[in-house]
Chain A
Amino acid sequence: MTRRSTVTTERDPDTDTGSPAIEARGLVRRFGDTVAVNGVDLEVAPGEIYGILGPNGAGKTTTIRMLATLLRPDAGEGRVFGHDIVQNADAVRGRVSLTGQFASVDEDLSGRDNLVLIARLLGYARGDARRRADVLLGDFGLADAASRQVKGYSGGMRRRLDIAASMVVTPDLLFLDEPTTGLDPRSRNQVWDIVRALADAGTTVLLTTQYLDEADQLADRIAVIDRGRVIAEGTPGQLKSSVGAGALHLRLRDPGQREDAERLLAGVLGVPMQTGSDPAALSARVSDPDLAARAFAELAGAGIPVSDFAYGQPSLDEVFLALTGHPAEETTDTDDEEQVA
C-alpha cells in the first residue's frame, strides 16, 4: 500500500507540519456513574488508517465524539493536527469529517438534498454545491436514487451517502464509527474500498469496529479498547505476536471423543487444551508447527477422526480473549462462560 507517500493535497501550512493527526492523553468521560472512557491515550500519524477495536459499550463512540469536538472530555486532553479539541474546536472542525454510528444524514430529505445542504454549509455556491453533489452521487453509486428520500434507502446506500457527505470537502481526518455494522458482505466491501481509496489520497482515517477481521483488513494500527481503556496497541501483526504463539484448532467428527482427544493431545503437546461452546472443537497454543503435525498424526493413530484442522497465527479474536480474559463477542460483564482448562 502506498499510503501517504504520494500525497500532495494542499493544506494550510500553519498547523500540521509535524503534528500528529490525533494526539490524546488520558481522555476521560463519565455519564452519571458510568465511566464510558477511562483514560484513553492515542497517537495517530497523518495518513494512517487507525482502528479502534472493542465490544459493545467499550467506549468507542464516546472516544470518537470527544475527538470530533461533539463531547467535552471530563479529564485529559486531545489534539487534532495540533489543535486542542476543546480550546480550538472550530479549527478542528475545519479539518475533520464525521460519519457517526447511526446515520448522520437527514432521512426526510433526498440524497441529493443532503449533499447540497452540506456543500452549502461548507461554503459552496448554489450551482457548485449541486455539481459537487452530483459528482459524489455518481461516484458512490447513488445517482439513480439521488432524488429519493433517504428514508427509503437500504442500509448500504445510507452508509455510502453518509460517507459521501463526509467527503464533500475531502477531509484531512475522517472519523468512521462502525462503518460496516449491519451491512451485507458486498456493501461492506464497498465501504472498505472507499476507506482505502481515501487513505491512498492522504486522508487519515480513524475507524471503530467490533469486527476483528475488519480492523485486520483495513487498519495500519489498532488500539484494542475495553471498558473505556486501551488495553493493547500496535500493528495487527504486533498484536497477534504479542499473544506469543501460534494456535492449533481442531474439530472432531465425533464430539463424544472429545475427552479422549483432550487427554491424548495434552500429553503430546505438553500444554492444556482449550474447549469452547462447540462440543466438537479443541484448540491450544502451540509454538512449533512440527508438534502440531505430530498431534494430528497421533489422533489418526488412535482412531479419532478429525473433520477440521488448522494451524496458524492466532486470530484477533484470540488476541482479544488473551488480552481481556473474555471474548470480544461478550457484551456484558460476565466473566464466567469460557472454560480455560
Chain B
Amino acid sequence: MTTPSMASQAVETSLPSALAPGDRPTRPSALSASLTFAWRALRKMRYVPEQLFDAVFQPIVFTLLFTYLFGGALAGSTGEYLQFVLPGILVYTVVFMTMYTGVNLNTDISRGVADRFRSLPVWRPAVIVGALIGDTVRYTLASTIVLALGLVLGYRPEGDVVGVLISLALVLAFSFSLSWIWTTLGLLMQTPNAVLWTSTLLMLPLAFASNIFVDPATMPSWLETAVGYNPITHLVSAVRDLMAGDMPGQSIAWLLGASAALVAVFAPLTMYLYEHRR
C-alpha cells in the first residue's frame, strides 16, 4: 500500500499555529496541580451523572427506608428512630461514596489516561489528592441532602450550627483519610469492578458492625467490644454528640488520630504503588 494522496485536507499539513513554539510555561505548584485534577473530577460530574445520582439518590432512599421500614421495629417509633439514625445515615452515605475514589483511579489506569498524567512533569500525588478534593465536594453535597431531608422529616439537631458544621468537617476529614485505602486497592486490583467488589466486601462489615443502625448495648458483648474498636462507631458517636449539642473531645481526638494514621500508612503506600505499577 502506498500513500493515497487524496483527502487529507481536514488537517493542515503545516500545523502552523499548533507548532508556534512560544515560552514553556512554568510548572504549576503542587496545590495548583491538585486543584486542576479536582476541576477534572467535578467536570466529570457533568458528563457522568451516575456518580452524582449516587450522591443524591442513595441518601434519600436510605433515609426513607430506614426511618419508615425499620424505624418502628428498631426503636418503637419512626420519629425516635429518625433522631437516632440520621447521623448514622449521614456517615454511612459518605463513607460508602469514598469507594469510588479507588474505582476511578483504576479506571484511569486501565484506560490509559493515567499514562499521560504520569508522563507529565507535575507533583506526583496531585492526581490522587486532586481527585480526593473533587470527591469532597460530592460528599458535602450528599451530606447536605441527608441533613435537609432529615429536617424535612422531623429530625431536630439539639446543638447549634457550629456543632453541625464540626460534625460535617469530621465526616469529610475521615472520608478523605479512608479514601487512601481505596486508592491503594485501586492500584492493586486489575479491573474497576474488582476494586468495587473488594471495597464493598471490606466496607459492609465495617458499616454494619457499628452503631450506625442500632445501639451497641443491644448486641452480644463480644460484638459490642468489636464495635467499640470500629472507627466508624467513633465517627457516628461524635456526630451524634455534636448534633445533640455536646462536645465529644475524646471521640474527636480518637478520630483525628485514626485519620492521621490511615493517611500515614496508605498515602505513601498508594504513591509507591502508583510509581511502580506495571
Measured CB to CB, the closest approach of chain A to B33, in angstroms, equals 6
Show 16 residue pairs from A and B whose CB-CB distance is below 8 angstroms, ordered by the A residue. Answer: A65-B115, A71-B278, A72-B276, A106-B44, A106-B113, A113-B40, A120-B28, A121-B120, A122-B121, A123-B28, A139-B15, A140-B18, A190-B8, A197-B13, A197-B14, A217-B3
Q: Could you give, for residues 1-41 of chain B, a 1 whenever the CB lies within 8 Å of some chain A CB and a 0 otherwise?
A: 11111111011111111110101111110001100110110
B13 and A193 within 8 A (CB): yes
Which residues from B are CB-within-8-Å of A189?
3-5, 7-8
Please report which residues of chain B, range 92-134, place their CB below 8 angstroms from some CB of chain A when the two chains form the complex: 108, 111-113, 115-122
When chains A and B are docked, how far (Å) is the Cα of A128 from the Cα of B20?
Answer: 14
When chains A and B are docked, how far (Å) is the Cα of A105 from the Cα of B2?
Answer: 30
Query: For chain A, what secondary structure do more than half of its interface residues adopt (helix, strand, loop), or is it mixed?
Result: mixed
CB nearest to B15 among chain A residues: A197
A170 and B19 within 8 A (CB): yes
A110 and B28 within 8 A (CB): no
Which residues from A are CB-within-8-Å of B32?
120
When chains A and B are docked, how far (Å) is the Cα of A110 from the Cα of B11?
Answer: 20
Q: Is A305 an interface residue (CB 8 A)?
A: no
When chains A and B are docked, how far (Å) is the Cα of A165 from the Cα of B10?
Answer: 18
Which one, B8, B33, B119, contacts A93 given CB within 8 A? Answer: B119
When chains A and B are docked, how far (Å) is the Cα of A94 from the Cα of B25?
Answer: 11
When chains A and B are docked, how far (Å) is the Cα of A160 from the Cα of B8?
Answer: 13
Q: Is A27 an interface residue (CB 8 A)?
A: no
When chains A and B are docked, how far (Å) is the Cα of A72 from the Cα of B276?
Answer: 8
When chains A and B are docked, how far (Å) is the Cα of A164 from the Cα of B11?
Answer: 12
B11 and A9 within 8 A (CB): no
A105 and B19 within 8 A (CB): no
Measured CB to CB, the closest approach of chain B to A71, in angstroms, equals 6
Interface size class of B (residues with CB under 8 A): 35 or more
Q: Is B47 an interface residue (CB 8 A)?
A: yes
What 9 pairs across the A-B complex have the smallest Cβ distances?
A123-B25, A104-B116, A139-B18, A141-B10, A93-B121, A102-B112, A98-B119, A120-B36, A189-B8
A10 and B115 within 8 A (CB): no
Please report which residues of chain B, range 45-65, place their CB below 8 angstroms from some CB of chain A when the two chains form the complex: 47-48
B120 and A122 within 8 A (CB): yes
Contacts A102-B111, A193-B8 given; does A121 touch B36 at CB 8 Å? yes
Q: Could you give, for residues 248-262 of chain B, a 1 whenever the CB lies within 8 Å of some chain A CB and a 0 otherwise?
A: 000000000000000
Q: Is B156 an interface residue (CB 8 A)?
A: no
Which residues from A are CB-within-8-Å of B108?
106
B3 and A107 within 8 A (CB): no
B27 and A123 within 8 A (CB): yes
When chains A and B are docked, how far (Å) is the Cα of A190 from the Cα of B5?
Answer: 10
A122 and B25 within 8 A (CB): yes
When chains A and B are docked, how far (Å) is the Cα of A187 from the Cα of B244?
Answer: 65
Measured CB to CB, the closest approach of chain A to B31, in angstroms, equals 13
Which one, B2, B47, B276, contacts A149 given CB within 8 A? Answer: B47
Which one, A97, A139, A194, A196, contacts B17 given CB within 8 A? Answer: A139
Which residues from B are CB-within-8-Å of A201?
19, 21
Contacts A192-B3, A217-B3 given; does A117 touch B15 at CB 8 Å? no
Which residues from A are CB-within-8-Å of B3?
189, 192, 217
Which residues from A are CB-within-8-Å of B36?
117, 120-121
Which residues from B are CB-within-8-Å of A135?
17-18
Known: A68-B119, A117-B40, A186-B6. 14 other contacts (CB 8 A): A10-B21, A68-B115, A98-B116, A106-B113, A108-B48, A109-B43, A113-B43, A117-B39, A120-B36, A122-B27, A135-B18, A139-B12, A140-B11, A213-B2
Which residues from A are CB-within-8-Å of B48?
108
Q: Could you give, for residues 79-120 of chain A, a 1 whenever the CB lies within 8 Å of some chain B CB and a 0 otherwise?
A: 000000000001001101110111111111110010001101
Which one, A9, A97, A108, A186, contacts B119 given CB within 8 A? Answer: A97
B118 and A70 within 8 A (CB): yes
Contacts A90-B121, A117-B40, A139-B12 given; does A103 touch B111 at CB 8 Å? yes
Which residues from B are CB-within-8-Å of A105?
113, 116
Q: Is A146 an interface residue (CB 8 A)?
A: no
Contacts A10-B21, A194-B15 given; does A69 touch B47 at CB 8 Å? no
When chains A and B are docked, how far (Å) is the Cα of A186 from the Cα of B146?
Answer: 54
Contacts A120-B36, A139-B11 given; does A104 touch B43 at CB 8 Å? no
Measured CB to CB, the closest approach of chain A to B109, in angstroms, equals 11
